[in-house]
């Protein structure tokens, strides 16, 4: 079973509160340990003072032995403690008991210094004890021990008083952090709700509270994406509408021509209508090819460029259009292929072929000349190795394009003044060439031909 995914608020609180709580716990324990250490030293110092007081009353007898120079009552007064019970014993250097509480044993010690603190058991009680070593009037040891009830109670109060205020501060800080993190995360929840409740057709910008730079960047990125999607959808709708209109026109014309031909019995009328139907079919076929070329743009953007021999592409393109050129009475020629030799560019072969087909087709359709003038279409390969450039020109001797119209004709569905009159094309050819040039990183040029008449269109590549 997949574990539930935690919310961002839960993850942030967990990553903040848990380390904070661990830091608080470690800090509290360290503070308590330091306080306990110094407090224990104060208790031990008082216990050592009692041992020195007992040792100061040890006297040497006339026989050379040792004795305690205080009575039991005097010792009770000397070792009085309001909250603890004290015990003492005096031993000779050889461990013989001299005075004090008879049951109090000398604790085992590995290394006896001037004084040593230790823990010991007496009458089923755990005592804190100090062993004091004295050399005057002769070597002897004093053991003073006391119960630790007040010490334990004091340390417990110290622990509670150390932890409780800091725990309250931690809880207050956790509550404050949760509130502030909730406020900072709330815009994400608002964004989620705004997107979830939106209609698929609603692409207006989303309002997101800019509480942080990250949220501002996120809102700007989302709104920029929505804007691009809106432009794309609007473009697709316009494209679909234009396609429907452009396809419907030749189809409707063919249907009307067919209906008229079927209503006639004269074979000459049939032939005339069939010729018109063939022209409409050619126009529709050309439109379909242009639409397929536009569809190739997305695929070409995802394909990798590779070395392409530009001279071979030009030769193949000329060969594909020779038959049509002969039928139209056009002198289709080439220039620079033999002089330049092999010229390679880094591009997609299908896109270069698409550019050549569209430029040559445009020259065939619109490069009309006055009656009696031979129509010429020339494909020219040029190369400049010193500048690392090469390219291809397609120029004709037709009327050309006015400079003010050239940029406008690079848009889809836009035709020149001659297009509607000639009933040729769909206004997609130069738009496709422009898009292909952009994908290949080439420059598209539209200029007046060298003779001062006609159009000179081509691409400029950077050689690899």
Provide CB contacts within 8 A for 272, sequence distance 6+: none
Over the chain, what is the mean pLDDT?
Answer: 80
3-state secondary structure 7-75: CHHHHHHHHHHHHHHHHHHHHHHHHHHHHHHHHHHHHHHHHHHHHHHHHCCEEECCCCCEEECCCHHHH
Residue 121, pLDDT score: 85
Domain regions of the chain by residue span: 8-157, 200-302, 304-462
Residue 380, pLDDT score: 92
Average pLDDT (188-205) is: 80
Instruction: In whole angstroms, give the CA distance from residue 282 to residue 254.
Output: 11
pLDDT band at 2 (very low <50, low <70, confident <90, very high): low
Give me the count of residues in the chain.
464
The CA angle 373-379-384, to the nearest 5 degrees, is: 135
Residue 419, pLDDT score: 53
Class of domain 200-302: mainly alpha
Residue 164 in this model has a pLDDT that exceeds 80: yes
* Tens-digit pLDDT profile for residues 41-56: 888 898 888 888 888 8
Instruction: In whole angstroms, give the CA distance from residue 276 to residue 270.
Output: 10
Environment class of 332 (CB within 10 Å of its CB; exposed 0-12, middle 13-18, buried 19+): buried
Residue 398 in this model has a pLDDT that exceeds 60: yes
Could you tell me the maximum CA-CA distance found in the chain, to the nearest angstrom?
168
Residue 296, pLDDT score: 59
Report the range of poorest mean pLDDT among 24-28, 82-86, 205-209. Answer: 205-209
Packing angle, helices 213-262 and 267-302, rounded to 10: 160
Residue 216, pLDDT score: 79
Instruction: In whole angstroms, give the CA distance from residue 345 to residue 29.
Output: 74
Using DSSP's 3-state secondary structure scheme, residue 263 falls into: coil
Q: Which residue has the higher pLDDT, 81 or 332?
A: 332
Class of domain 304-462: alpha beta
Environment class of 223 (CB within 10 Å of its CB; exposed 0-12, middle 13-18, buried 19+): middle
Residue 421 in this model has a pLDDT that exceeds 60: no
Provide CB contacts within 8 A for 85, sequence distance 6+: 146, 147
Report the range of poorest mean pLDDT among 29-33, 311-315, 427-431, 460-464. Answer: 427-431
Instruction: In whole angstroms, give the CA distance from residue 97 to residue 99.
Output: 6
pLDDT band at 460 (very low <50, low <70, confident <90, very high): very high
Contact 367, 375 (CB under 8 A): yes
The percentage of residues in the chain with a pLDDT greater than 70, rounded to a whole number, is: 85
Residue 384, pLDDT score: 85
Contact 144, 131 (CB under 8 A): no
Residue 294, pLDDT score: 59
Residue 289 in this model has a pLDDT that exceeds 80: no
Residue 210 in this model has a pLDDT that exceeds 90: no
Would the CA dihedral through 254, 275, 397, 389 be positive or negative?
Answer: positive
Q: 8-157: which CATH topology?
A: Beta-Lactamase (3.30.450)
């Amino acid at each position: 079973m997949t574990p539930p995914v935690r919310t961002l608020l839960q993850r942030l609180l967990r990553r903040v509160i848990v380390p904070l709580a661990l830091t608080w716990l470690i800090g509290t324990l360290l503070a308590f340990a330091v306080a306990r250490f110094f407090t224990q030293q104060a208790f031990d110092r008082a216990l050592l003072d009692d041992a020195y007081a007992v040792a100061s009353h040890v006297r040497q007898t006339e026989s050379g032995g040792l004795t305690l120079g205080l009575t039991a009552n005097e010792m009770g007064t000397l070792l009085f403690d309001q909250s603890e019970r004290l015990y003492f014993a005096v031993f000779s250097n050889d461990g013989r008991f001299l005075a004090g509480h008879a049951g109090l044993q000398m604790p085992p010690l590995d290394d006896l210094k001037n004084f040593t603190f230790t823990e010991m058991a007496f009458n089923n009680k755990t005592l804190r004890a100090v062993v004091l070593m004295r050399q005057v009037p002769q070597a002897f040891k004093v053991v003073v021990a006391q119960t630790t009830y007040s010490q334990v109670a004091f340390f417990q109060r110290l622990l509670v008083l150390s932890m409780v205020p800091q725990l309250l501060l931690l809880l207050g800080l956790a509550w404050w952090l949760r509130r502030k993190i909730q406020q900072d995360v709330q815009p994400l929840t608002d964004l989620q709700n705004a997107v979830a409740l939106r209609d698929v057709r609603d692409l207006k910008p989303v309002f997101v509270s800019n509480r942080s730079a990250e949220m501002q960047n996120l809102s700007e990125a989302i709104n920029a994406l929505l804007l691009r999607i809106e432009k794309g959808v609007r473009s697709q709708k316009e494209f679909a509408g234009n396609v429907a209109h452009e396809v419907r026109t030749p189809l409707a014309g063919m249907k009307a021509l067919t209906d008229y031909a079927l209503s006639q019995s004269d074979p000459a009328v049939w032939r005339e209508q069939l010729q018109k139907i063939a022209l409409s079919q050619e126009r529709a076929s050309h439109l379909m090819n242009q639409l397929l070329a536009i569809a190739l743009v997305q695929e070409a953007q995802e394909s990798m460029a590779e070395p392409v021999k530009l001279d071979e592409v030009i030769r193949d393109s000329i060969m594909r259009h020779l038959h049509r050129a002969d039928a139209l009475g056009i002198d289709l020629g080439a220039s620079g292929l033999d002089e330049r030799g092999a010229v390679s560019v880094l591009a997609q072969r299908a896109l270069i072929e698409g550019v050549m087909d569209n430029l040559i087709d445009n020259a065939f359709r619109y490069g009309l000349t006055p009656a009696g003038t031979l129509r010429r279409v020339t494909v020219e390969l040029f190369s400049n190795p010193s500048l690392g450039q090469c390219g291809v020109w397609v120029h004709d001797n037709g009327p050309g394009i006015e400079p003010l119209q050239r940029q406008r004709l690079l848009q889809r569905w836009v035709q020149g003044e001659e297009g509607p009159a000639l009933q040729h094309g769909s206004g997609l050819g130069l738009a496709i060439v422009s898009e292909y040039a952009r994908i290949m990183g080439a420059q598209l040029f539209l200029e007046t031909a060298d003779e001062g008449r006609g159009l000179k269109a081509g691409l400029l590549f950077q050689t690899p």
